[in-house]
Amino acid sequence: MQVLKKTLMITTVCCFALTACKKSVIEESNRLANAFADKFLIGTAMNSLQIFDLDTLGTDIIKKQFNAIVPENCMKSMYLQPEEGKFFFDEADKYVAFGEANNLWITGHCLVWHSQAPRWLFADENGNDVSRETLIERMRNHITTVVSRYKGRIKGWDVVNEAIMDDGSWRQSKFYQIIGEDFINLAFQFAHEADPDAELYYNDYSTAIEAKCQGIVNVVKSIQAKGLRIDAVGMQGHLNMDSPTVEEFEKSLLAFADLGVKVMVTELDLTVLPGFNNFTGADVSANFDFKAELDPYSDSLPDQVALEQQNRYVDFFKLFLKHHDKISRVTLWGVTDNDSWRNGWPVPGRTDYALLFDRNYQPKPVVAELIKLTKQY
């Protein structure tokens, strides 16, 4: 009797342990970061609520599903240095601490960008443009202060964001107008001097447009010709349902990889909302009036549209997996549909469904599809 009891007990304990173990194996392999582990990093942008731990359901998803993070807003220059010499690092410090505590690859976004930059940066006390020397000095000071604060902790920086137009020409930003083409080389030089071990990236949208791709190729070549460090080109990846095509995206991806740098998809999202004839891209200053017909899914998303979106996500991830030797990271621009900037841009007040997790913090069916896909590559 005693022996029987003991055997029964051992069997029960073993069964229980086995079930628990099986369950955790299933759970582990159900996570994006684990599934993509030997392909590329898979990341998300973090917003302020998540960084300040006010959205714990969101941060739970980040910890479980992703292995890389980028700050959606808090490291842009207008937030870090709203007045000359007055730096505000509270949120950025918390962001970096979160990444370290959870063992995530931490990216900084972004050092030099014409948008979300404070006005004072380009102006003298009379509101006129500052001299070339002054702007170079201000740029140096901003980059040096920010990059050295997180030296060895932030692993890679979007050094310059969006310097090239869709036709391949230079964007007429204040950086370009005041300093000239060299502003890019200088920015990469200052960032490297502040943290020689950090990876340095050039980042832009609509990179699948051939002329723009060529313009970016020329920028990278000029950085390389100066002997400066550049590790990767970031293709933002704010996708629409009908543009760009996977083939167009692939062409640019290969053109960048041919330069001997890595490629990253840095701000992936896929809007399902109606677009406008000629409007593509991700110019944050674009703004169109709200109209009800531009917001067709404010109650819910029809199954058919959800499926079309899933298929398009899958098609793009097939491309990323096919070229996983060239891609170092794919980052979603937010966690749940509720977080996505596409609800408010380029038309305020719409309801979009652009990301991989729904408004109830549940993975959409596409997540399981992407995990399945990793086994084929």
Active site residues: 162, 267
> Does 249 engage in binding with ligand XIL (CB under 6 A)?
no
CB of 284 to ligand XIL, least distance (A): 4
Task: Specify the amino acid at residue 163.
Answer: A
> Does 284 engage in binding with ligand XIL (CB under 6 A)?
yes
Binding mask 175-214 vs ligand XIL (x if CB under 6 A, - otherwise)? ------------------------------x---------
Q: Which residue is nearest to ligand XIL (CB)?
A: 341
CB of 230 to ligand XIL, least distance (A): 17
Cis peptide before 363 (omega within 30 of 0): no
> Does 95 engage in binding with ligand XIL (CB under 6 A)?
no
What gap in Å lies between CA 297 and CA 193, rounded to an integer? 49
Q: Alpha carbon of 365 to those of 41, 306, 355, 362: distances in Å?
A: 21, 9, 12, 9
CB of 337 to ligand XIL, least distance (A): 14
Residues ≥6 apart with Cβ < 8 Å to 250: 319, 323
Q: Tokens in use for 219?
A: 């920028």
Contact predicate 234/327, CB 8 Å: no
> Does 236 engage in binding with ligand XIL (CB under 6 A)?
yes
Nearer to ligand XIL, 217 or 332 (CB): 332
Binding mask 119-138 vs ligand XIL (x if CB under 6 A, - otherwise)? --------------------
Strand-strand pairing, 232-235 and 199-204:
parallel
What gap in Å lies between CA 273 and CA 118, rounded to an integer? 31
> Does 240 engage in binding with ligand XIL (CB under 6 A)?
no
CB of 10 to ligand XIL, least distance (A): 55
Nearer to ligand XIL, 282 or 366 (CB): 282
CB of 340 to ligand XIL, least distance (A): 8
CB of 233 to ligand XIL, least distance (A): 13
> Does 77 engage in binding with ligand XIL (CB under 6 A)?
no
Cα 351 → chain centroid: 21
Residue 206, CB-side half-sphere exposure with 13 Å CA sphere: 19
Nearer to ligand XIL, 287 or 362 (CB): 287
Among 35, 68, 72, 156, binds ligand XIL (CB under 6 A): 72
> Does 371 engage in binding with ligand XIL (CB under 6 A)?
no
> Does 341 engage in binding with ligand XIL (CB under 6 A)?
yes
CB of 220 to ligand XIL, least distance (A): 18
Q: Could you write out the DSSP letters of every residue in 122-176?
A: GB-TTSSBPPHHHHHHHHHHHHHHHHHHTTTTS-EEEEEE--B-TTSSBP--HHH
The crossing angle, in degrees rounded to 10, of helices 210-225 and 182-194 is 60
> Does 282 engage in binding with ligand XIL (CB under 6 A)?
yes
What gap in Å lies between CA 58 and CA 114, rounded to an integer? 30
Nearer to ligand XIL, 334 or 363 (CB): 334
Among 30, 73, 240, 243, binds ligand XIL (CB under 6 A): 73
| Helices assigned H by DSSP within the chain | 2-29, 32-35, 48-51, 56-65, 77-80, 90-101, 132-149, 174-179, 182-194, 210-225, 246-257, 303-322, 365-374
Question: How many chain residues are in contact with ligand XIL, going by CB under 6 A?
Answer: 9
Q: Tokens in use for 191?
A: 């960032």
Residues ≥6 apart with Cβ < 8 Å to 288: 276, 279, 294, 346, 347
- Which residues here bind ligand XIL, judged by CB under 6 A? 72-73, 161, 205, 236, 267, 282, 284, 341
